[in-house]
Amino acid sequence: MARNLPTRSDFWYSDGSIVLLIEGTGFRVHQSILSQHSDVFADLFTVPQPSDDTESIEGCPVVHLADRLADFTDVMKALYQPFYFDTLRPDADLATLISFVSGILRISTKYNLIFLRKKCISILQTKFPSTLEGCDALLSSGYKYVSSTIVRAIPLARENNVPEILPWAFYISTNIDTDTLLDDPVLSWKDKTLCLAGKEQLWEMQKSLTHRFAFDFTKSHKCQHLCTSRLPCATMTWRQSEELRLSPHPLHEYDEWDTLKVCQHCLEQVQVQHRKGREEVWNSLPVIFRLGSWADIHLEQNR
């Protein structure tokens, strides 16, 4: 049964073998290409050849898809334009990056377009690392996040099974002002609660693990000097402490060791405490935000 095509997309190939209709717009594309990239499409396209009672356009069977037109268009660009991902500048800000990958990630996850999904995840991980080494590289770059953009990553990750980016996304979201966080229309109340509860846990870990020397300095048993009284950070003011409590950052890599004015034995001790503390905080991030362990996250994302 022939019909007129309401609107032709830019992806209308004369040698295309199937027509996909999304929101009244048609894509005449190649069944073989889509099937090669997606087992879901391969199964979807096991339809009979056009006959009198089969919907067709220009001799091609028609398949209706309940997807967003903009999302599907982005996927077609990624599949049919070899250098499409190269149009995303390496220095693109997070808002641009999320807008670029969101549609492709949604469609590639739904239809199991494995290559495109992995590409989107790798791009997201440039701003949301899943290793401590990646975290350190990002912190060293001095990248500045915008709160309204950070929160967009959390529902995107949840909806598309990308839990590896969630621990860091939650971590940096804890630095969002409380009123701003509560008023945010994007985050669910569950995720807002996780951010607020996580903030308190990160603050306690900063005091007791990573930056303990600034709050409760204990000299080395090898110390032969008056290091306890010489440590300037031990007298942190109430105002300084309150600023840290409101914006905890236990993964901050302290590097002003020369200002501590302590002996070599005490310095080595606090450096070891700081390094091990950062490792413990990083390993605990998924637990803090009720995501299981890093191993659980990796397993869930790749299942």
Residues 178-198, mean pLDDT to the nearest whole number: 94
Residue 264 backbone phi and psi in degrees, to 5: -65, -35
Q: Tokens for 184?
A: 């945010």
Give me the amino acid identity at 123: I
Percent of the chain with pLDDT over 70: 91
3-state secondary structure (DSSP) of residue 83: coil
pLDDT bin (cut points 50, 70, 90) of residue 246 is confident
pLDDT value for 215: 81
Q: CA 289, CA 190: separation in Å to the nearest integer? A: 10
pLDDT value for 1: 44
- Give the tens place of pLDDT for each residue, 96-134: 999 999 999 999 999 999 999 999 999 999 999 999 999
- Sheet containing strand 56-57, strands side by side: 7-12, 25-29, 18-22, 60-64, 56-57
Q: CA 54, CA 154: separation in Å to the nearest integer? A: 42
Whether the predicted model's global pTM rises above the 0.75 cut = yes
Q: CA 182, CA 122: separation in Å to the nearest integer? A: 30
pLDDT value for 257: 87
Yes or no: say if 104 and 78 are a contact pair by the CB < 8 Å rule: yes
- With a CB cutoff of 8 Å and minimum separation 6, the contacts of 174 are 195, 196, 198, 199, 202, 247, 248
3-state secondary structure (DSSP) of residue 63: strand
